[in-house]
Amino acid sequence: MATLDALLHGFSIALTLHNLGWALLGVTLGTAVGVLPGIGPALTVSLLLPVTFGLEPTSAFIMFAGIYYGGMYGGSTASILLNTPGESASIITALEGNLMARGGRAGPALATAAIGSFVAGTLATVLLTFLAPLVANLGLRFGPADYFALMVLSFTTVSAVLGRSLAWGLASLLFGMALGLVGIDVQTGQERFTLGLPALLDGIDVIVVVIGLFAVGETLYVASCPGDPESVVPMRGSRWMSRRDWARSWKPWLRGTALGFPFGAMPAGGGEIPTFLSYAIEKRLAAKPDEFGKGAIEGVAGPEAANNAAAAGVLVPLLTLGLPTSATAAVMLAAFQQYGLQPGPLLFENSGDLVWGLIASLYIGNVMLLALNLPLVGLWVRLLSIPRPYLYGGILTFATLGTYTLNNSVADLVTLYLVGVVGFLMRRFDIPVAPAVIGLILGPMAEQQMRRALSISEGHFSIFVTEPIAATLLAVAALVLVAPPVWRRLHSGQVARAKSRQTP
């Protein structure tokens, strides 16, 4: 009950007019930057750090938290409407979300994303409030071998986004993994595939690849395949979710939250992997799995909930252990230190007002974001009525702006164009794009964690079987790969038998 008292005290701090104002500014700004490709919350918070020098720390953090959550809400909008996700955690949303928009169901897609974000954000904040220390300690149990096993399990989700053929999907995955190898090897400092170019030493930024494959690839495709005039469809039917949409959305929201929060709270988890897993699970559990790939609302609701729950999860190790596990969290840690605060267990004791004010403001921020984003659905949908030449001109303006500001580097713009051409070819020949991004994100993590594990075990592969978490996860991965074909065969056998019984 001490937690509840502290939380109520936090609300008394966050609910002052002054702090509500900062929260509103934060969520508005966050939504705005979230919509734009490549300009994420990390950049915004770090740019605003100096602005808040004279501000009371509690107010500053309430605003930062608003930007952070707002960025997660805004991220889905461009993905759904324009198939141009601005960050890697919303590429999965783009898959089904954009198909829904093309089918004239942009309204329900945006609504399920916004409400799902609210549900997940709020539930995850509740978990953060009451379970933070417990979850943080569980997260620490994961060592390199366990993470490697987790990556292997995550790779199995690729099967959900393969598209028309296994071989083309794998080619796309391998292409992403190959891109992920470029740069300095973390373990040994050796250059790999840098072609002698200093700009490639740090590797190819995931954001550049995402913007290139999606925003640039999409624009090139829309421009040069004029036989497809229906790529931007005005909305048909209701702007809001129907009873059926609600019925199909609420379970994915909850499952997405259950996946996203623990992944976010893991020191090497992140926001992308739970979206992959959520999509794979929803596809498998859906009543009509064949709707996936044609605009299934479950495929928007689940991953969107997952990435918002992960955003709250990231705050768990940050606040309880002082571990920053995402770019935004690293910037927020720097902000804490700027105020002379050291996140960690002592933060709750020494700066209770700030922590509980911040946590309370997360609840408030979520409500504000829902109130802000639901009416905005109508406005965002109207974006689609902008004449296409100007719409895509604007998309590329922001895509290049976001890419350039990542590192202030022209080299990134060259990469963006080249990756964009690849994205165009993949669209042209109907090769799935999502596996490439999955490979780019998971590949380097899997490699580094495997090599760390082997270095710790002094070269003994047995570490993957003797560590209980790793062994369990590898067993689950094997089951995921082997069970469905077996089960399908059994199941289709039953169906066939049932049918043969019906037809005399």
Partner 1 sequence: MLLKFAKRHVALLLALTGIGAASVAGAAEGEPLQRLKIMAPAAPGGGWDTTARQMQAALTQARIVRTVQVNNVPGAGGTIGLATLANNLKGDGNQLMVNGLVMVGAILTNKSAVTLSQVTPIARLTGEYEVVVVPAQSPIRSMQELAARLKSNPGGVSIAGGSAGGTDHILAGLVVRAAGADPAKTNYIAYSGGGEALAAIMGNHVTAGISGYGELIGPIKAGRLRALAISSDKRMPGIDIPTLKESGIDVGLANWRSVVAPPGLSTAQRQALLDAVDRMVKSPEWQATLAKNDWVDLYLPGAAFSTYLRAEESRVTDILKSIGLAK
Partner 2 sequence: MGNRFLRGEVLIAAGIVALGVAMAVATLAIPASGGYERIGPAAYPWAIALSLVIIGAILVREAARGTAPAISAGPGSDRTALRPFGFVSLGLILHLLLIERAGFVIASATLFFCTARALGARHWIVTAAIAVALSIAVYFAFSSGLNLDLPAGPWLGGW
Binding stretches for partner 1 (CB under 8 A): 25, 28-29, 32, 42-43, 46-47, 49-51, 53-55, 139-144, 184-189, 191, 198-199, 201-202, 267-268, 317, 321-325, 327, 329-331, 333-334, 337-340, 342-346, 407-409, 452, 455-456, 458
Q: How far is CA 130 from CA 14, 191, 255, 428, in A?
A: 18, 45, 19, 49
Judged by CB under 8 A, does residue 56 bind partner 2?
A: no
Q: Applying CB under 8 A, does 198 fall inside the site for partner 2?
A: no
Nearer Cβ to partner 1 (340/387)? 340
Residue 252 Cα to chain centre, angstroms: 15
Strand, helix or coil for residue 191: strand
Alpha carbon dihedral 221, 307, 107, 362, in 10-degree steps, equals -140
Q: What string of DSSP letters covers 104-124?
A: T-HHHHHHHHHHHHHHHHHHH
CA nearest neighbour of 179 among 444, 420, 429, 425: 444
Give dist(CA 108, CA 327) in Å, integer. Answer: 31
Q: Is 405 in the site for partner 2 (CB under 8 A)?
A: yes
Q: Which two tokens stand for residue 437?
A: 């991004």
Contact 328, 45 (CB under 8 A): yes
Look at the block and give the residue holding tokens 């008292």.
5
Which of partner 2, partner 1, none does residue 404 bind (CB under 5 to 8 Å by kind)? Answer: partner 2
Residue at token pair 């094997």: 478
The distance from CA 119 to its chain's CA centroid, rounded to whole angstroms, is: 16
Q: Which of 117, 219, 257, 278 touches partner 2 (CB under 8 A)?
A: 219
- Rounded Cα distance between 16 and 269, Å, is 35
Instruction: Tell me whether residue 25 or residue 174 sits nearer to partner 1 (CB atom).
Output: 25
Provide, rounded to whole angstroms, the least separation between the CB of residue 489 and partner 2: 21
Kindly state the number of chain residues that form the binding site for partner 2, as judged by CB under 8 A. 70
Residue 146 engages partner 2 in binding (rule: CB under 8 A): no
**CA torsion, points 155, 156, 159, 162, in degrees to nearest 10?**
10
Q: Which of 315, 329, 225 is nearest to 265 (CA)?
A: 315
CB of 295 to partner 1, least distance (A): 31
The backbone region for 459, taken as left when phi is positive above 0, alpha when psi lies in -120 to 50, beta otherwise, is left
Of 254 and 333, which CB lies nearer to partner 1 in the complex structure?
333
Q: Which of 61, 69, 73, 392 touches partner 2 (CB under 8 A)?
A: 392
Separation between Cα atoms, residue 97 and residue 109, nearest integer Å: 6
Using CB under 8 A, which residues numbered 301 to 330 contact partner 2?
none
> What is the C-alpha separation between 26 and 59, in angstroms, rounded?
10
**Exactly one of 8, 12, 140, 165 binds partner 2 (CB under 8 A); which one?**
165
81 binds partner 2 (CB under 8 A): no
**Smallest distance from partner 1 to CB 494, Å:** 46
Secondary structure, 3-state, 325-374 = CCHHHHHHHHHHHHCCCCCCHHHHHHCHHHHHHHHHHHHHHHHHHHHHHH
Q: Which of partner 2, partner 1, none does 333 bind, CB closer than 5 to 8 A by kind?
A: partner 1
Which residue has tokens 């002054």?
18
- Give least dist CB 432 to partner 1, A: 29
The binder of 227, among partner 1, partner 2, none, by C-beta within 5 to 8 A per type, is partner 2
At a CB cut-off of 8 Å and minimum separation 6, what does 184 contact? 190, 191, 192, 194, 201, 202, 203
CA dist 257 and 488 (Å) reads: 28
Contact flag: residue 454 with partner 2 (CB under 8 A): yes
202 binds partner 2 (CB under 8 A): no
Q: Kindly tell me which of 3 and 159 has the beta carbon lying closer to partner 2.
A: 159
Residue 143 interacts, among partner 1, partner 2, none and using kind-specific CB cut-offs from 5 to 8 Å, with partner 1
CB of 430 to partner 1, least distance (A): 36
> Among 143, 159, 175, 246, which residue sits at the site for partner 2 (rule: CB under 8 A)?
175
Nearest CB to partner 2, comparing residues 410 and 478: 410
* Among 123, 220, 368, 437, interactor with partner 2 by CB under 8 A: 220
Among 4, 8, 137, 187, binds partner 2 (CB under 8 A): 187
- Judged by beta carbon distances under 5 to 8 A according to partner kind, the member of partner 2, partner 1, none in contact with residue 502 is none
- Measured from the CB atom, the residue of 4 and 186 that comes closer to partner 2 is 186
CB 192 within 8 A of CB 395: no
Q: Among 94, 447, 449, 470, which residue interacts with partner 2 (rule: CB under 8 A)?
A: 447
Tell me which residues touch partner 2 (CB under 8 A). Answer: 44, 47-48, 50-51, 164-165, 167-168, 170-171, 174-175, 177-178, 181, 185, 187-188, 190, 192-193, 216, 219-220, 222-228, 231, 387-390, 392-394, 396-398, 400-401, 404-405, 408, 410, 413-414, 416-417, 420-421, 424-425, 428-431, 443, 447, 450-452, 454-455, 458-459
